[in-house]
Amino acid sequence: MPTRDVVFISSQLLTADLWKPQLDAFKGKTNCTVANNSAHDTMPALAKSVLAAAPNTFALVAHGMGGFVAFEILRREPARVEKLILIGTLTPADTPAQTNRRLGYLKLVQAGKFADVVDERIPLMVPPARYHDMDLIDVVRKMAADTGAEGFLRQQNAIMNRIDSRPTLEKITCPTLLIWGRSDGLATLDHQKEMLAGIENSRLEIVEDCGHLVPLEQPQRANALLAQWLEL
């Protein structure tokens, strides 16, 4: 079997470190690249940059905000995506309340309080049972620091201005695996069911005892699911 090309896209405030367990496990079995998720401030621009750097065809693994970029990629060049894995993501555009919350983040960052934004986001990304897992918290803080305030501002602008992807779900034809942690504080089970109903060739896997950061919180389970879906 030829080596599969896999492109990973992380969520906001997260970097390639999110995928370290997968990159280590699949070394030698895949050509893995992690896309830049903070270089631009619109989803179309992010999708365009990912496509420009990606192989002609590839499997796409996207987490959280990375899923928003994935939907834009699939609207632009669907034939290039052989298989799709969406982890802890959702399809609707922001509600007014969510936009107001993001505008609050922007004000904090502009006031030099980026650390306060990170402190507020961590409880959404990490379930209560893992609040005292300092190894996990330290990795999240490092990824946020590596993203930086300016990168986070670009990500927020892209997220706030994204379109609703629900109307185009039926156009996704590649085999699609949805992965969701039972204690995810950002994406809900209803969001997953919505994608499951909208994408014809899709399957949902629920990871127990896990929050938003499935690749880091449950790496063995995540690795097994990815390996099976990608036929590694």
Q: pLDDT tens, 19-68?
A: 999 999 999 889 999 999 999 999 999 999 999 999 999 999 999 999 99
Judge whether residue 125 has pLDDT over 80: yes
Residue 86 lies in a domain: yes
- Rounded mean pLDDT, 183-211: 97
Residue 191 lies in a domain: yes
Tokens of 203: 């399957």
Judge whether residue 3 has pLDDT over 90: no
Neighbours of 9 (CB within 10 A): 28
Q: Which residues are within 8 A (CB) of 61 and not within 5 positions of it... i.e. 6 or more apart?
A: 6, 7, 8, 9, 19, 22, 84, 85, 87, 226
Residue 119 lies in a domain: no
Percent over 70 (pLDDT), the chain? 99
Task: Share the mean pLDDT of the chain.
Answer: 95
Percent over 90 (pLDDT), the chain? 95
CATH of the domain at 89: 3.40.50.1820
Confidence of residue 84 (pLDDT cuts 50, 70, 90): very high
Nearest by Cα to 88 from 68, 116, 108? 68
DSSP code string of 76-91: H-GGGEEEEEEES---
Q: Which residues are within 8 A (CB) of 128 and not within 5 positions of it... i.e. 6 or more apart?
A: 183
Residue 209 lies in a domain: yes
| Owning domain of residue 172 | 4-94+159-230
How many residues are there in the chain? 232
Residue 137 lies in a domain: no
For the entire predicted model, the pTM comes to 0.96
Tokens of 91: 């399809």
- pLDDT confidence of residue 2: 55
- pLDDT confidence of residue 138: 97
Instruction: Name the domain count of the chain.
Output: 1
Tell me the helix, strand and coil percentages in the chain, rounded to 5: 55, 15, 30
- Rounded mean pLDDT, 76-102: 95
Residue 150 lies in a domain: no
Judge whether residue 1 has pLDDT over 80: no
Residue 139 lies in a domain: no
Contact assessment for residue 64 and residue 89, using Cβ atoms and an 8 Å cutoff: yes
Residue 118 lies in a domain: no
- pLDDT confidence of residue 232: 78
